[in-house]
A = this chain, B = another copy of it.
Amino acid sequence: MAMTSERTDDPACTGDPPGDHTGDPRGTTHGGPVSHSLSRVARLHRIAAGKLLRRTGLYPGQEFLMMRLWNTDTVRQSELIKAMDLDPSTVTKMLQRLDQAGYVRRSADPEDRRAVLVEATGESCTLRSEVADAWTDLEEQTLAGLDEAERGELARLLAKVEENLCRETQECPERRGEAGTAAEERRPADRE
Contacts and interface: CB of A to CB of B under 8 A. Distances in A.
A45 to B, nearest CB: 6
Interface in A32-91: 32-42, 44-49, 51, 64, 69-73, 85
Contact of A136 (B9, B21, B30): B21
A154 interface: yes
Given A142-B34, A171-B47, A21 B179 contact: no
B19 A70 contact: no
A12 B135 contact: no
Contact of A181 (B11, B32, B41, B151): B32
A89 B44 CA distance: 17
Contacts of A31: 155, 159, 178-179, 181-182, 185
Interface of A: 1, 3-14, 17-19, 21-22, 27-42, 44-49, 51, 64, 69-73, 85, 99-100, 102, 105-108, 119-125, 128-129, 132-133, 135-136, 138-139, 141-146, 148, 150-155, 157-162, 164-166, 168-169, 171-172, 178-179, 181-182, 185
